[in-house]
Amino acid sequence: MDLKRLLSQLDLAADWVGLRYVEEITSYRWVRDGHPQANQRDMTAGIMVEVLVQGQFAYYATTRLDSAGVQLAAETAVKLARDAARYSVFQFTTAARPANTGSYRSAFSQAEESVSPAALNQLLIRATERLKVSDKIVSSNAMAQIVRSEQQFVSSNGSDIEQQFLMVSADYSALAQHGPIVQKRSDSGMLAKSWQIGMEVFNEEAVLQRCEQVGAEAVELLSAEECPTETLDLLLAPDQMMLQIHESVGHPLELDRILGDERNYAGWSFVRLGDFGKLQYGSELMNITFDPGVEHQLASYNFDDGGARAEREYIIRQGILQRGLGGVESQLRSGVAGVANFRASSWNRAPIDRMANLNLEPGDSSLEDLIGSVEKGVYMQSNRSWSIDDYRNKFQFGCEYATLIEHGKLTRTLKNPNYRGISSSFWKSLKGVGDRSTLQVFGTPNCGKGEPNQSIRVGHASPPCLFADVEVFGGEN
Amino acid sequence: MKTKQAVGPMEQLFNQLGSALMAELRGQESLALSFGAENSQFTRFNGSRIRQTGLVDDIGLSLDLIDQQRQASGSIALSGILQEDLQRVAAELARLRAEVSELPEDPYLVVPVAGQHSHSDQHAALLAPEQSGAKLLPAMQGLDLSGLWTSGRIYQGHLNSAGSRHWFASDSFVLDYSLLNPDERMLKACFAGTDWQQSEYEQSLQASAQQLKMLQRPAIRIQPGHYRAYIASAGVADMLDMFSWNGLSESAMQTGESAFLRMRSEGIRLSALFSLAQDFSSGLAPRFNQYGEMAPERIALISAGELKHCLTSSRTASEFGVASSFADDSEALQLPVMATGTLAEADILAALGTGVYLSNLHYLNWSDVAAGRITGMTRYACFWVEDGEIQGPLESMRFDDSFYHFFGDHLEAVGAESQMNPNVGSYGGRELGMTQCPGVLLSSFALTL
């Protein structure tokens, strides 16, 4: 797509204009119980034409990619901006769209074409067979999603950015049933294994080995005890820390939420603008970074969708809140330091503040040290349920699989593990953080936010973490 | 709102692409086409000011190609320019044809069958996009309003090689918003329709502003526990939305993932006061699915507490040997309608006595699917009530309770009046449909945090 040519052909009375082109191809293959359920490829492509007039941005997003279509879109966007300018939430200037040039490519070993649709279907069929470790497995699923995304951004003040992504998500799950007891186990929680990576992720030996473990754990849960209802130490595996960081650190620190943009939908935040630089968010063991440069993590990139260059930044350091998760627009509105996270889900949605890669930095404990320090507690793995209030404070999360910890040792498997807490006090109870050898990288393609709604990709890396005195509970008998 | 029979440019584009593709089919190939498009204005408000505004024109076509008991599917973006789009769809058909032969056989695929036809094309007088700020904002001044204005046209179509042909297009608008008072107490409201009436909009906004005054009293904090509760229609709609996810899907039932499994396997019933149906009679969403089949206008799902039907696609019917209800493959509720009861609006507070009045719920999720347990938060205008009198707004509480209780043994009464709760979702594209339901009075509801 020759965006610079389209930009040069525009005849427009605007203070600034930007063109953002997105072309994305998603291949989705799903097998259940040995039979194909979906072999689908979706292609979307379009341009968002954005203008700045009288301090107000407005956009027109279209699938028409010719110069006449782009000109019409730009002229209409100018009319929208003029209509809205009398009621602008903020008088923006071109400073909201920094001029940058550069590119980005995902790192991968094997291109999508290296595994044929037939071969991938055969692998997924074998995966569902391997998940059926006994006749108690009543349903088994294997899914692969491959996304190729090409994004370009040019602007009248000189931005010229091209970024190409290859992203793969895989999920393998088994449902076990014995009479009225039903238990599901997946490979680290639904779609948690989402990365910028190539088809090397479909190594057959590794996939089948993992499926056998997933199936065995589903069956194991059928005869497991209920998670106790008690206030105990709680050790969270990295595949649950992903959700804990996402919901109770990431969302409350998004500057657009704190500024009130999401009050009608996703909600507000218990964090206020005056808290940055001061608030003791968690214990001194808590170090959170915004890191768009982690190879293979799902939300790595060099530039956000407003053209800002992305850099690693500490968001929370030794428990103290440092800066917000807000792009240039939010930084201008709030006066608070932020990061380059002004991102859109596609060409047809305007960018807003999204958390991208948000990671908990490793500490100095081995997993054995963490378990060994617990007199009585629960070790929970893999998210299955999540809910949190509109201020991102009162949460309740559930996991697929848990193990009781007694006298410093893992003892019995537990089913239906849940825990609840309040973000502002929960993180202060952090008393152990795994070392770098225990760190794992996960992600999800499905973080929802925004009006109109946007589902976007985020990444979270974390070691296992130990929390003191958490209310845990099981299912209903 | 007016119904038009003449073929508009979008339907014409779909028909021309469809004809070209059907003419290209070879041998035993079957093809189903699903068309989706929207012309939408989205304007976000924060503090009664405009945060973001824009227009989205999106057009796409999905193709399902079946050959030799194998299926390959694809969707592509269209430009709206016929010659360019003819090339795009021809290329996509060629890609599908190359792929389908190497895929494994699918024993449960649904082959298009001899066709059904439907046509609905509704036009309304909407606000001009470049005037929406001037028309909407003046009435908001003096209020703290956050929300989203959505207005425009949605198109859906279906054609298949067996001869099914469907078209649905409609204009609509919705202002989905929250009003806030200086203490951050919030009230949720929605002004939706087809033909724009400025005076109705202004009156609706004034009525919401009046209701906001009820939130001026100091907030009341209560301890976790079991409380008598009234959940208003919007909150009930949130609960019913959960039934589209591990819920009233026949596929979920057959694969053991449905929360309703105990109703089928153990014969458990909900309250005789609870009845739920899928009902397309409002015409707010098309009845046809991706196979070109027409769902029945009304299907009873739960009648007087007894599970009657689950939503069943023809694919599920084929796999598990059950009858199809011609649901689409998601087997999700599109137009759920819950039956009303006898509790009059004026009697709600007296009937509640002492307990919680919950106008809206937030962020629901299954906490224990097999037990039917749902967790979530109270949100917006919720109140603590004593002896039938509102004492003050309630601080947000987490609930965690089973529908086997709140639509079962704890369901004391059902409201006599039903409200329409439009689906305002727009992930991927603007969604159609709504949930029509009354409020419910519960003898006990579990608040946990």
The CATH number linked to B155 is: 3.30.2290.10
Question: Hey, is the C-beta of A453 within 8 angstroms of any chain B C-beta?
Answer: yes
Enter the tokens of residue A307: 């053209």
Enter the tokens of residue A51: 């203008």
CA–CA distances in Å: residue B315 to residues A143, B294, B368, B446: 19, 14, 28, 39
Q: What pLDDT, on the 0 to 100 scale, is given for residue B6?
A: 75
Q: What angle do CA A301, A302, A308 make, to 5 degrees?
A: 115
> Do B143 and B242 have their domain in common?
no
- How far B342 CA sits from the closest chain A CA (Å)? 32
> Do B251 and B333 have their domain in common?
yes
**pLDDT tier, A477 (very low <50, low <70, confident <90, very high otherwise):** very low
> Do B54 and B94 have their domain in common?
yes
What is d(CA A296, CA A293) in angstroms, rounded to the nearest whole number?
9
Instruction: Give the chain B residue whose CA is nearest to the CA of A388.
Output: B363
> Do B40 and B61 have their domain in common?
yes
Strands A35-53, B70-77: pairing kind:
parallel
Cis amide prior to B182 (ω within 30 degrees):
no
Enter the tokens of residue A265: 């939908």
Site from B10, B13, B35, B51 to mutate, A interface, most A CB atoms within 10 angstroms? B51
- Contact check, Cβ <8 Å, A454/B427: yes
Strand partners, B192: B174
- Give the rounded distance of the alpha carbon of A92 from its chain centre: 29
> Which helix (H) or strand (E) is B123 found in, with range?
strand B117-123
- How far A56 CA sits from the closest chain B CA (Å)? 8
Domain end: B215, B233, B263, which one? B215
Enter the tokens of residue B105: 């056989």
> Do B148 and B8 have their domain in common?
yes
Indicate the SS3 state at residue A332. helix
Cβ contacts of residue B346 below 8 Å, gap of 6+?
Answer: none
Question: Hey, is the C-beta of A332 within 8 angstroms of any chain B C-beta?
Answer: no
Nearest to B50 among A63, A87, A180 (CB): A87
- Tell me phi and psi for residue A16, to 5 degrees: -165, 150
H helix intervals, B298-381: 314-320, 348-352
What is d(CA B376, CA A385) in angstroms, rounded to the nearest whole number?
11
Instruction: Return the exposure string of B325-344: e unless at least 16 CB atoms fall within 10 Å of the residue's CB, then b.
Output: bbbbbebbbbbbbbbbbebe
Question: Hey, is the C-beta of B73 within 8 angstroms of any chain A C-beta?
Answer: yes
pLDDT in tens, A45-100: 999 999 999 999 999 999 999 999 999 999 999 999 999 999 999 999 999 999 99
- Contact check, Cβ <8 Å, B46/A263: yes
Strand partners, A447: A456
- Contact check, Cβ <8 Å, B106/A35: yes
- Contact check, Cβ <8 Å, B104/A125: yes
CA–CA distances in Å: residue A315 to residues A150, A276, A283, A461: 29, 9, 14, 14
> Do B256 and B405 have their domain in common?
yes
Domain ranges of chain A: 3-223, 226-473
- Contact check, Cβ <8 Å, A43/B57: no
What is d(CA B58, CA B37) in angstroms, rounded to the nearest whole number?
5
Decide if B356 contacts B384 (C-beta within 8 A): yes
Strands A160-178, A101-105: pairing kind:
parallel
Locus of tokens 């694969």: B255
> Do B190 and B240 have their domain in common?
no
Q: With contacts defined as CB-CB under 8 Å, which chain B residues touch A267?
A: 362
- Contact check, Cβ <8 Å, B102/A118: yes
Question: Hey, is the C-beta of A386 within 8 angstroms of any chain B C-beta?
Answer: yes
Whether the pLDDT of residue A342 is over 60: the answer is: yes
Decide if A157 contacts A139 (C-beta within 8 A): no
- Tell me phi and psi for residue A187, to 5 degrees: -90, 80
- Region A9-24: mean pLDDT is 97
Q: With contacts defined as CB-CB under 8 Å, which chain A residues touch B55?
A: 59-61, 73, 76-77, 80
pLDDT in tens, A401-428: 999 999 999 999 999 999 999 998 999 9
- How far A365 CA sits from the closest chain B CA (Å)? 32
Locus of tokens 């153990």: B266
> Do B384 and B397 have their domain in common?
yes
Question: Hey, is the C-beta of A91 within 8 angstroms of any chain B C-beta?
Answer: no
Q: With contacts defined as CB-CB under 8 Å, which chain B residues touch A184?
A: 257
Q: With contacts defined as CB-CB under 8 Å, which chain A residues touch B54?
A: 48, 50, 58-61, 77, 80, 350
- Tell me phi and psi for residue B333, to 5 degrees: -70, 130
Enter the tokens of residue A291: 């890191």
Question: Hey, is the C-beta of A135 within 8 angstroms of any chain B C-beta?
Answer: no
- What is the interface size between A and B, counted as CB pairs within 8 Å? 245
| Distance from the first to the final alpha carbon of chain B | 47
- How far A435 CA sits from the closest chain B CA (Å)? 31
Enter the tokens of residue A8: 């040069």
Site from B13, B39, B53 to mutate, A interface, most A CB atoms within 10 angstroms? B53
Torsion of CA B128, B133, B134, B135, to 10 degrees: 70
Nearest to A396 among B46, B255, B375 (CB): B375
ipTM score of the complex? 0.96
What is d(CA A142, CA A127) in angstroms, rounded to the nearest whole number?
6
What is d(CA B308, CA B330) in angstroms, rounded to the nearest whole number?
19
Decide if B80 contacts B13 (C-beta within 8 A): yes
Number of domains chain B contains: 2
Determine the residue type at A237: A
Write the Ramachandran bin of A307: left for phi over 0, alpha for psi from -120 to 50, otherwise beta.
Answer: left
Eight-class DSSP state of A199: G
| Distance from the first to the final alpha carbon of chain A | 59
pLDDT in tens, A104-156: 999 999 999 999 999 999 999 999 999 999 999 999 999 999 999 999 999 99
- Region A328-334: mean pLDDT is 98
Question: Hey, is the C-beta of A277 within 8 angstroms of any chain B C-beta?
Answer: no
Decide if B392 contacts B220 (C-beta within 8 A): yes
Indicate the SS3 state at residue A298. coil
Strand partners, A194: A169
- How far B45 CA sits from the closest chain A CA (Å)? 7
Decide if A392 contacts A320 (C-beta within 8 A): no
> Do B124 and B188 have their domain in common?
yes
Q: What is the DSSP string of A26-79?
A: EEEEEEETTEEEEEEEEEEEEEEEEEEETTEEEEEEES--SHHHHHHHHHHHHH
- Region A421-448: mean pLDDT is 97
Residues of chain B with pLDDT under 50: none
Give 3-state DSSP helix, strand, coil % of chain A, rounded to 5. 25, 40, 35
- How far A347 CA sits from the closest chain B CA (Å)? 9
Eight-class DSSP state of A278: T
> Do B180 and B288 have their domain in common?
no
Domain end: B215, B233, B256, which one? B215
Determine the residue type at A36: P
Instruction: Give the chain A residue whose CA is nearest to the CA of B71.
Output: A39
> Do B82 and B169 have their domain in common?
yes
pLDDT in tens, A263-278: 999 999 999 999 999 9
Question: Hey, is the C-beta of A348 within 8 angstroms of any chain B C-beta?
Answer: yes
CA–CA distances in Å: residue A384 to residues A192, A205, A269, B367: 11, 26, 24, 8
Instruction: Give the chain B residue whose CA is nearest to the CA of A473.
Output: B367
Nearest to B79 among A56, A60, A65 (CB): A65
Decide if A187 contacts A214 (C-beta within 8 A): yes
Locus of tokens 């997946």: A186
Cβ contacts of residue B347 below 8 Å, gap of 6+?
Answer: none
Eight-class DSSP state of B200: H
What is d(CA A215, CA A161) in angstroms, rounded to the nearest whole number?
45
Q: What is the DSSP string of A351-406?
A: -EE---BEEEPP-SB-HHHHHHT-SEEEEEEEEEEEEE-TTS-EEEEEEEEEEEEE
Indicate the SS3 state at residue B246. coil
Q: What is the DSSP string of A100-119?
A: -EEEEE---SS-GGGS-HHH
Cis amide prior to A452 (ω within 30 degrees):
yes
Q: With contacts defined as CB-CB under 8 Å, which chain A residues touch B71?
A: 36, 39
Q: What pLDDT, on the 0 to 100 scale, is given for residue B96?
A: 98
Instruction: Return the exposure string of A261-288: e unless at least 16 CB atoms fall within 10 Å of the residue's CB, then b.
Output: bbbbbbbbbbbeeebbeebbbbbebbbb
Decide if A432 contacts A363 (C-beta within 8 A): yes
Enter the tokens of residue B65: 């190609």
B47, burial (CB in 10 Å: exposed 0-12, middle 13-18, buried 19+): middle
The mean pLDDT of chain A is 97
> Do B143 and B34 have their domain in common?
yes
Fold of A3-223: PmbA/TldD fold (3.30.2290)
What is d(CA A50, CA A46) in angstroms, rounded to the nearest whole number?
13
Q: What pLDDT, on the 0 to 100 scale, is given for residue A180?
A: 87
Domain containing residue B97: 2-215
Torsion of CA B252, B257, B259, B265, to 10 degrees: 80
Q: What is the pTM of this model?
A: 0.96
Q: Which of residues 361-390 of B touch A (CB under 8 A)?
A: 362-371, 373, 375-377, 379
- Contact check, Cβ <8 Å, B104/A36: yes
